[in-house]
Amino acid sequence: MEQFKVAVVQAGSEVMDKEKGVKKVIRLIEEAEENNAKIIVFPEAFIPAYPRGMSFGAVVGSRTSEGRRDFYNYWNNSITVPGPETEQIGKAVKKAGAYAVIGVIEKDDDDGQGTLYCTALFFGPDGKLLGKHRKLKPTGSERLIWGEGDGSTMPVFDTPYGKIGSLICWENYMPLARTAMYAKGVQIYIAPTADARDTWFASMRHIAAEGRCFVLSCNQYMTKEMFPEEIASRDEFKKLPNELTRGGSCIVDPLGEYIAEPVFGEEKIIYGDINLGKIAEGKFDFDVVGHYSRPDIFKLSVNEKKQDNVDWNEGDK
């Protein structure tokens, strides 16, 4: 399938309500299906929300009881992977017969842990969860609420629509992480984000040209009215402008040119026609992990082993 259509969903979360969030995801998948999209992309932290402007009552050296209540609400509306929410989304993806990549906040319940991760989930057209990528390095204050992923969740999936992989938001500013993705042959490079600054779009065009890949950048459009009134720690939130995230989702081709320019100020599904032949055309004169590399000078080592806190030694048998 060298030529096909992709959909980038620019929409706002159903904040702190995972049930409504799943319903909105399903509705938007159905809309993208009606427009014959074969790959459907959602923003970073779409379920239950990117907590913009929420400090959770945390400053250096102290926390507040109100902030802990807010964090509990955020944690309680995050999802386990796999879990009932991924099953519901999987059914909608299967009906659409497409691939889908969805940003969620993942609640790690393994062995009683409570850590949250900013995660991108990959679904296949059979509705099955193919895998996930956990954000390697939360940015700034995100580190107060999200843990760090390890190298075991950096997949690139081989599909009939090219090799699909993802880095989340400012991970895309990590040159070695990008190199790892290029070395895995990523062709459909998915960049869910919460960044709508002008500098972000320059980066998306650079990555497309650097990796000679298609870049699908997906952001939310959010206003303050979308956040519930029951948030307890709202002092910093109140100071923010009404338009919290202006959008800016876009699609870029392997030469760094827009297929779909950034869209601002509205919820909208952005569509683009992909021709995988453009990748080979681009690599004619630049292949960052091929003929334009110098492995005799530069080497990258990637540790893809799952990192566990405890190694259980069963003793001599």
Question: What length does the chain have?
Answer: 317
Q: So what's the pLDDT on residue 1? A: 79
Instruction: Confirm whether 44 is a catalytic residue.
Output: yes
Instruction: Confirm whether 229 is a catalytic residue.
Output: no
**With 90 as the cut, is the pLDDT of residue 21 above it?**
yes
According to DSSP, the β-strands at 3-10 and 39-41 are parallel
Give the pLDDT mean for 272-278: 97
Task: Choose the catalytic residue: 18, 33, 169, 213.
Answer: 169
**With 90 as the cut, is the pLDDT of residue 26 above it?**
yes
| CA terminus-to-terminus distance, the chain | 53
Q: Where are the beta strands (DSSP E) in 144-297?
A: 156-159, 162-166, 188-192, 214-218, 221-223, 243-252, 258-264, 268-275
Higher pLDDT, 285 or 309: 285
Q: So what's the pLDDT on residue 111? A: 57
Higher pLDDT, 101 or 228: 101
Q: So what's the pLDDT on residue 232? A: 63
Q: So what's the pLDDT on residue 113? A: 66
Give the pLDDT mean for 15-32: 97
- The topology (CATH level 3) of 3-283 is Nitrilase/N-carbamoyl-D-aminoacid amidohydrolase (3.60.110)
Task: Quote the CA–CA distance of 20 and 195 in Å, as a whole number.
Answer: 24
Poorest-pLDDT segment among 11-15, 96-100, 240-244, 268-272: 240-244
pLDDT of 217-243, one tens digit each?
999 999 988 888 777 666 777 788 889
Task: Choose the catalytic residue: 107, 135, 163, 278.
Answer: 135
- Percent share of the chain, pLDDT over 70: 97
Task: Choose the catalytic residue: 14, 33, 44, 106.
Answer: 44
pLDDT of 53-83, one tens digit each?
888 888 889 988 888 888 999 999 999 999 9
**With 90 as the cut, is the pLDDT of residue 202 above it?**
yes
The 3-class SS string of 60-110 reads: CCECCHHHHHHHHHHHHCCECCCCHHHHHHHHHHHHHCCEEEEEEEEECCH
pLDDT of 213-223, one tens digit each?
999 999 999 99
Poorest-pLDDT segment among 10-19, 33-42, 102-111, 206-215: 102-111
Poorest-pLDDT segment among 15-19, 113-117, 165-169: 113-117
**With 60 as the cut, is the pLDDT of residue 37 above it?**
yes
pLDDT of 117-131, one tens digit each?
999 999 999 999 999
Give the pLDDT mean for 292-310: 93
With 0-12 / 13-18 / 19 or more C-beta atoms within 10 angstroms meaning exposed / middle / buried, residue 98 is buried
Q: So what's the pLDDT on residue 228? A: 83
pLDDT band of residue 45 (cuts 50, 70, 90) is very high
